[in-house]
Structure 1
Amino acid sequence: MDTESYYTERMKEEVALLFSDDSYCCSLLPPSAYDTAWVAMIGSGGGAARPLFPQCVEWILANQRKEGFWGDGQRALDSVAATIVSVLALHQWNTGRASIERGLEYLRANIEKILVQCHGGIPRWFTIVFPGLLELTQSKDLRVLRGHDVMQLVNDIFKRRTTILTAFDHCWSLFNGRSSGSDQYYPPLTMFLEALPPSSRPKHELILAQLMEDGSLFRSPSATAAAFMITGDANCLKYLQDMMQRCSDIVPPVFPVDQNLIRLCLVDHLSRLGCGQFFEEEIKDLLDHNYRNWIKQHQEQSTTNCVLSEQIYSDTLAFYLLRTYGYPVTARKLCWFMDDKGILVHIRENHNEFLGAMYGIYRAAQLMFPEEVDLHNAKLFSLEVLTKCLPRKDFEGKDKVMTDFQKEIARELELPWLLRMDHLEHRLYIERTKGYWLWIGKTNICRLSHPKCLMQLAVDNFTKRQSIYRNELQMLNRWSEESGLSKMGFGREKTTYCYFLATVPTCLPLHCELRKIVAKNATLVTIADDFFDEKGTESELETLTEAVNRWEGDNLYSHSKVIFDALHELVNEVEFNAFRDHDKTVKDALQEMWRDAFNSWLKESKWSRCKHVPSTDEYIDVAMVSVAIQVMTLPACYITHPKVPVDGKLGSRYCKMTELSMLCARLLNDIGSYMRELGDGKFNMVPLYVKENLESSIEDSVGHIKTVLERKGKEFLELFLNQEYGGVPRVWKELHVATLKAFWMLYDSNNKFDSPTALLQAIRMAFYEPLAIDA
């Protein structure tokens, strides 16, 4: 094993530990400045003026940002709360005077601006915590506010807190601290015990009655620290000591955390980094376990989680990953909350606290199957909520700067699953990610850290792919030149485009031969299609089609001979590989497929020459074949598995998945190119629909076709993700989805394939530009 391979294996072994070692998995939890400061305020016994956990004080001193705040600068309200309590902790132990002053100056300079930016969207947790922290600073003579305007904003928050506290004053439960009525959807108020005014704290026995088995208050280190300081309960202390030991003296936002949820996040993170193939066994074991639990709880609504948003988020992530990996899960367990009008009202009114949950819902709905009405409705609801969080124009009409999470939401909303080019998505995620967003804790969001070895593995893997792709593209360009296809002198020379489209839609561990076969067939289709559309005379086209039908090209010359010879060579290449690897011949199937394509091109050429206007049914029967996605996809399929599955309509030589990809590719091509084709005097589905539906406009026709595409896309997705769809090998499914995604990206909004520049930047990013990792 060479040095590079040894280093890669060591990195993979280290990452694999996250699936088996609970302590190592805990290391992914980020430190919480807010919770650390509360734990730091616990004094040692005997009245000594020193902290019980001095390591927390040291952490505060070592982790103040240069701007003066503590916490994540991407989340301003979190940083305000963390900074106030960090200042309080340092003040309590009379240390870090310079840090205290810098923290206070940051607060005085920024609180008003932050509250103005968040005005009208301040989450409930901040409404409870912020006034309590201000009251503590006032009792310590620490001035954190400056200016009349900020006092008005602060007074509004105090009034909102009073409303919340009044609603809970007489509603404490001995079991879970919840109130009745509309407040049942909120986390228990004791989750924020550290910030409650003394008059609103429950009695000691009620606090102790709400402790969990591990001694915590709802897994919150800060609330548990407050519970210990108030009650002196030994179980609270043991919880805090165990937490510090398990987390290596780091205070996370939640402890203990659901290890299964963390590992599901890890699987998602690995997939988005493009590294999932390195951990197939670990991922399968984890998802098998989750699928068994999913089936067991299929008829049950989980109510064990005290935070509604976290419950929804956990369910959506499990569903998304299980469906992505082909497990037969239904969406009902995911959408139960849609039946509760009270929950829907609550989410709308508190949308900032449900962004993670709604992001998970929308993402899961990207994998929607036909007839999943519940999931469709949940998707529309989540879209409504998520749209509220995206920044609008500022006072000068300029776009506001988005946070990292807002960018992630915007990306999710603008790019349906079938439009995503995996290789480029991996690049974007690697360059942007500073950790994986996790929707847990009192503020509903934190970012899991990732081991340096994982990011290095992702960077090395992406860079290696780029190198492989560049070498393959060079080989393909040589083939195109040597075959004569790049020297035809007409039409579109799209060898680089075709290789790009054969490569970037998925990053499967497919060997080089498959990518090259797809790209070669796509290049040949482009040249042959242009020959039938632009260059060939009627006699030449008939002669070439006859030669393909006979599979004999001796009487051909010029362009026709170049096309036939390239086709003949390609079919022989696929036949050789299939026979070598599987001892099976596929030449007859390949020849019949190409005969279908050439006959369809000839028929369309004759329609155009004689100005024939076919019916939509007549047109689609021919056009599904003439789009030729089948001859781009199936030759590579035959190399991997030469037995031809047939589950389509009677008499068809294509399976249902191939037929769906043919139909979708044709409709996509038509809505992306109908303007050009009308200019050339040709019809496609867009104007033909108008002709048969006289009350419809071109815009109506495009809308109708997009509706059909949406439905057929869901049908295709169901076949792709359904392990029980028999007869079609997994690698066939992967190749089909790769070529269909290429068509979807090319023609969804306009015709990028005919543009000389539309894909150039994407090609540079896919093959040539090195990764640019954000600092």
Structure 2
Amino acid sequence: MFGKVQLSSSSYDTAWVAMVPSRGALKEPLFPESVDWIMQNQHPNGSWGLNPSHPLLVKDSLSSTLACLLALQKWKVGEQLVQKGLDFISSNHFYVNDKQQPSPIGFDIVFPGMVSKAIELGLNLPLDTALVDIMLSNAEHKVKSFRDKSRIAYVAEAFGEAHSWKEVMTHQRSNGSLFNSPATTAPSLIHLSDDKSVEYLRSLLCLYGRSGTRLHIILRSFPTVYPFDIYSRLSVVDTVMKLGIDRHFGVEIESVLSETYRSWQQRNEEIFLDVTCCASAFRLLRMHGYEVGSDALAEFVDEEHFFSTVGMRYTNASTILELYKAAEIRIFQREPILEKIHDWTSNFLKNELLNRAIYDERLRNEVLGIILLPSCVPAGVPISIMGSFLHWRWKILTAAKPYTAKNFSNLRSIDTNAYLFREFNKISLLTGHNACITRWVKDTRMDQLGLDWHVLYSSHFMVASVHFAPEFSDARIGWSKISVIATIVDDMFDIDGTREELLNIIELVEKWDEYSSADYSSDRNKIVFSALYDTINNDLAPKAFAKQGRCVKHHLINLNLVMMKCMLKEVDWWTENLAPGIDEYLFNGTATIGCGIYFTVHFLLGPELTENVLSSEEYANLYYYIGRVARPMNDYRSDERESVERKVNLCSLLVNQSNGSLTKEDAIVEVRNMIESSRREVLRMMLQTQESSVPKAVKESVWKLSKFCHYLYARGDEFRTPVLGKDDIKKIFYEPINLSQHPRESF
């Protein structure tokens, strides 16, 4: 998968190459093998193109078919094929002006241009005269509106002899092509002689050739874009990361990224003259710790400038989404280039959704999950910023969207494999330890305390989504148990615990092995403490010892003790009507929201956490900033309820301590900014390699937790009262993928 990846053959590009005349004999094609390929690859319905039966590829088929008809008509071959092609156009011509159909880039200019060329060649197109006049007029008007000459050059095949072909050639790249596009390069050779362009096309012959059905005939086709190595290999890296199997391909991924980084430093044209490739390279390189500056994306800062220059050549929703995702990787507090790109791309994609302009369902769902405000996302749409395990399942069951250029094309050689399905189902079974945890709940009598069973599943779903690899089984089960105990404790402090009970449970944890000297103030306290004591002493501590090589039981105890003391402080604020400072509230809230006890999993992941690491400023900052993601998110979603209950809440604190300068709406904006700033800091720390003592696995764990927080609080509190989560939990734990129902498909 990580080798050279080819695009499928492009009928459209092959047709334009087939029209190039031989230098010595203008009445003969320079690439006769391509003419033969066209004659051998017409679909039964008379069309050419990627997929004649796909309902959203009709314009692609129309464009490819007309180009192939021009080639056959020019060399006066394939009369029956021409007639079948004309019949296809006759049956589908009404799609030409259908705005609901996705268009290959430049279709509104190139297709009318090909119509004019067909008329010159005497090809009797079955198109209404009025339709032709409208197409030609609209195309002429659009060309006149271009302010950037490269936009015209990119669709140069639409123009004939009167066009300034010498000016077009000023856009020639070092490899001899125009925009790495055979369909743009070939027409220049119809009007000009250029050795570099010929050499570029000849270099593709050996890559896209195969034996024909007739003896002694070699068929040659061309892709829609070449070279494509960098972007295609980055796509493989991105795919295996989304599928959650990147841990199996560390060497291959590092090889791809190191080669890409060298190309980045050399300002390789393949990266910097392609928006999608440039944005993808920036995102993946930065996410893997390479130092890439945002200046490389400066050309894309201004929306109007973007669409008046490079935008016309490459733009579709997929490209803009890639730019948006690149702009998301902001690791410094001030990155104005990325901030501006983020603003306009998010607005653009929102408008595309609102205007129903994204026709590919899979792409539309991805944009929905990433761009729209979480409260606007319809139920059932996966939120791709959540834990990658659920996203993996969604990705496996999702067919690929085609790579878009002047015509649609699919990546070849990147196929799903039965391995992916088996791996998913294997992990799904491993994460399905719910029966074990359910048995533990009953054995410890926790079920007698009014436990909402969905909390048990939510706890396991949360940690399984972040740490889903088989080797993290101990961490998943351990966290699930601690989380259930913490939820019961939280209800005691937050809802119905007496003051005596609260002080008593803290005392029991403080004394720990000397707990017998403290009487239980209630049967509930006895159940809770006994469950916590047994879980840490007999389960977590021994497993952590095996991972860490030393006893860390005191750390596991202290994480729970700090949480309880912070919960008691919140009770005091609430009952005594006290207003803490913002920083004090957030630091305290980091523990009460559960971030502290989440750090339990770090002792079970594998990397050694020395005392120096645990006491370091870097480790403390991880705790600090994840709290500034999780607590504000929770408060934002629970503000209305907690205002009625007169509980301390970040939103109300900001308003009350502003001396009237902040409204509730202002406070919400400030909370969102705080979340974004903290999320960015967690990402920066995760990517930091120099002067970092915290193991990367631990930092990645915190980063993944910050992403999952977005999922938890997308519409409400998915941990306490799951809505979307109910269906997702069912899919993860109880619906293994049936390979027979989902055959291999290309990504």
Shared fold, TM over 0.5: yes
Equivalent residue runs for 1:76-115 within 5 Å: 76-91=58-73, 100-115=82-97
In structure 2, do the counterparts of structure 1 residues 468 and 55 end up closer, same or farther at CA, with 3 Å as the change threshold? farther
Equivalent residue runs for 1:356-371 within 5 Å: 356-369=318-331, 370-371=333-334
Question: CA contact under 8 A between 1:422 and 1:506: conserved in structure 2?
Answer: no
| Amino acid corresponding to residue 434 of structure 2 in structure 1 | L
Q: Deviations over 1:541-596 (max 9, x none)?
A: 22111111111433335221121122112222222123223321112222222211
Of 616, 629, 652, which residue of structure 2 is paired with 1:664?
629
Question: CA contact under 8 A between 1:42 and 1:229: conserved in structure 2?
Answer: yes
1:603 lines up with 2:569 in the alignment: yes
Whole-Å separation in 2 of the counterparts to 1:731 and 1:162: 53
In structure 2, do the counterparts of structure 1 residues 725 and 480 end up closer, same or farther at CA, with 3 Å as the change threshold? farther
Whole-Å separation in 2 of the counterparts to 1:507 and 1:102: 54
Partner of 1:262: 232
Whole-Å separation in 2 of the counterparts to 1:233 and 1:64: 34
Partner of 2:276: 313
Equivalent residue runs for 1:711-722 within 5 Å: 711-722=677-688
Whole-Å separation in 2 of the counterparts to 1:632 and 1:655: 14
Higher alpha-carbon deviation: 605-614 or 45-54: 45-54
Partner of 1:432: 398
In structure 2, do the counterparts of structure 1 residues 134 and 532 end up closer, same or farther at CA, with 3 Å as the change threshold? same
| Amino acid corresponding to residue 236 of structure 2 in structure 1 | L
Partner of 1:482: 443
Shift of the alpha carbon at 1:536? 2.6
1:372 lines up with 2:335 in the alignment: yes
Q: Deviations over 1:512-542 (max 9, x none)?
A: 1122222222122111111222343222222
Partner of 2:529: 564
1:589 lines up with 2:555 in the alignment: yes
Shift of the alpha carbon at 1:337? 4.5
Whole-Å separation in 2 of the counterparts to 1:312 and 1:664: 31
In structure 2, do the counterparts of structure 1 residues 451 and 113 end up closer, same or farther at CA, with 3 Å as the change threshold? closer
| Amino acid corresponding to residue 9 of structure 2 in structure 1 | P
| Amino acid corresponding to residue 486 of structure 2 in structure 1 | V
Shift of the alpha carbon at 1:599? 1.5
Question: CA contact under 8 A between 1:32 and 1:251: conserved in structure 2?
Answer: yes
Percent of counterpart pairs with the same letter? Answer: 23
Whole-Å separation in 2 of the counterparts to 1:392 and 1:341: 18
Secondary structure at the aligned position of 1:70 is classed as coil
In structure 2, do the counterparts of structure 1 residues 711 and 509 end up closer, same or farther at CA, with 3 Å as the change threshold? farther
In structure 2, do the counterparts of structure 1 residues 141 and 528 end up closer, same or farther at CA, with 3 Å as the change threshold? same
Whole-Å separation in 1 of the counterparts to 2:315 and 2:726: 41
Q: Deviations over 1:34-88 (max 9, x none)?
A: 0122334467887998995446544564352758462355455433321211233
Partner of 1:151: 132
Equivalent residue runs for 1:700-715 within 5 Å: 700-715=666-681
| Amino acid corresponding to residue 580 of structure 1 in structure 2 | A
Partner of 1:179: none
Of 666, 679, 686, which residue of structure 1 is paired with 2:651?
686
Question: CA contact under 8 A between 1:29 and 1:252: conserved in structure 2?
Answer: no
In structure 2, do the counterparts of structure 1 residues 615 and 92 end up closer, same or farther at CA, with 3 Å as the change threshold? closer
| Amino acid corresponding to residue 543 of structure 2 in structure 1 | N
Whole-Å separation in 2 of the counterparts to 1:324 and 1:742: 17
1:133 lines up with 2:103 in the alignment: no
Question: CA contact under 8 A between 2:58 and 2:95: conserved in structure 1?
Answer: no
Of 17, 38, 41, which residue of structure 2 is paired with 1:39?
17
In structure 2, do the counterparts of structure 1 residues 129 and 400 end up closer, same or farther at CA, with 3 Å as the change threshold? closer
| Amino acid corresponding to residue 457 of structure 2 in structure 1 | T
In structure 2, do the counterparts of structure 1 residues 477 and 341 end up closer, same or farther at CA, with 3 Å as the change threshold? closer
Partner of 1:331: 294
Equivalent residue runs for 1:96-495 within 5 Å: 100-117=82-99, 125-147=106-128, 150-160=131-141, 163=144, 182-184=147-149, 186-187=150-151, 189=153, 192=155, 194-200=157-163, 202=165, 216-228=177-189, 239-249=200-210, 251-254=221-224, 256-294=226-264, 296=265, 302=267, 304=269, 310-338=273-301, 343-344=305-306, 346=308, 350=312, 353=315, 355-369=317-331, 370-390=333-353, 392=355, 402=360, 404-414=362-372, 419-434=385-400, 437=403, 442=406, 446-452=409-415, 454-470=416-432, 472-490=433-451, 494-495=455-456
Partner of 1:736: 702
Secondary structure at the aligned position of 2:86 is classed as helix
Whole-Å separation in 2 of the counterparts to 1:209 and 1:701: 54
| Amino acid corresponding to residue 275 of structure 1 in structure 2 | I
| Amino acid corresponding to residue 546 of structure 1 in structure 2 | E
| Amino acid corresponding to residue 253 of structure 2 in structure 1 | I
Shift of the alpha carbon at 1:109? 4.1
Q: Which has the higher contact order (CA 8 A, sep 6+)?
A: 2
Question: CA contact under 8 A between 2:506 and 2:565: conserved in structure 1?
Answer: yes
| Amino acid corresponding to residue 450 of structure 2 in structure 1 | G
| Amino acid corresponding to residue 70 of structure 1 in structure 2 | G
- Which consecutive unaligned segments of at least 5 residues does structure 2 have? 211-219, 375-382
| Amino acid corresponding to residue 389 of structure 2 in structure 1 | H
Partner of 1:643: 610
Q: Deviations over 1:102-143 (max 9, x none)?
A: 533443344444324179x98873344223311232234434
Shift of the alpha carbon at 1:659? 1.5
Question: CA contact under 8 A between 2:47 and 2:85: conserved in structure 1?
Answer: yes
Whole-Å separation in 1 of the counterparts to 2:340 and 2:168: 40
| Amino acid corresponding to residue 528 of structure 2 in structure 1 | I
Secondary structure at the aligned position of 2:125 is classed as coil
Question: CA contact under 8 A between 2:165 and 2:192: conserved in structure 1?
Answer: no
In structure 2, do the counterparts of structure 1 residues 625 and 400 end up closer, same or farther at CA, with 3 Å as the change threshold? closer
Partner of 2:543: 577
Whole-Å separation in 1 of the counterparts to 2:185 and 2:314: 25
- TM-score, length basis structure 2: 0.84
| Amino acid corresponding to residue 294 of structure 2 in structure 1 | A
| Amino acid corresponding to residue 479 of structure 2 in structure 1 | V
| Amino acid corresponding to residue 648 of structure 2 in structure 1 | F
Q: Deviations over 1:598-617 (max 9, x none)?
A: 11222333444455554545
How many residue pairs are counted as aligned between the two chains?
A: 712
Of 50, 62, 79, which residue of structure 1 is paired with 2:41?
62
In structure 2, do the counterparts of structure 1 residues 146 and 682 end up closer, same or farther at CA, with 3 Å as the change threshold? same
Question: CA contact under 8 A between 1:432 and 1:773: conserved in structure 2?
Answer: no
| Amino acid corresponding to residue 321 of structure 1 in structure 2 | L
Whole-Å separation in 2 of the counterparts to 1:729 and 1:466: 27
Shift of the alpha carbon at 1:674? 2.8
Higher alpha-carbon deviation: 364-373 or 133-142: 133-142
Question: CA contact under 8 A between 2:303 and 2:344: conserved in structure 1?
Answer: no
Shift of the alpha carbon at 1:290? 2.9
Question: CA contact under 8 A between 2:72 and 2:78: conserved in structure 1?
Answer: yes
- TM-score, length basis structure 1: 0.81
Secondary structure at the aligned position of 1:604 is classed as helix
Question: CA contact under 8 A between 1:633 and 1:735: conserved in structure 2?
Answer: no
Secondary structure at the aligned position of 1:198 is classed as coil
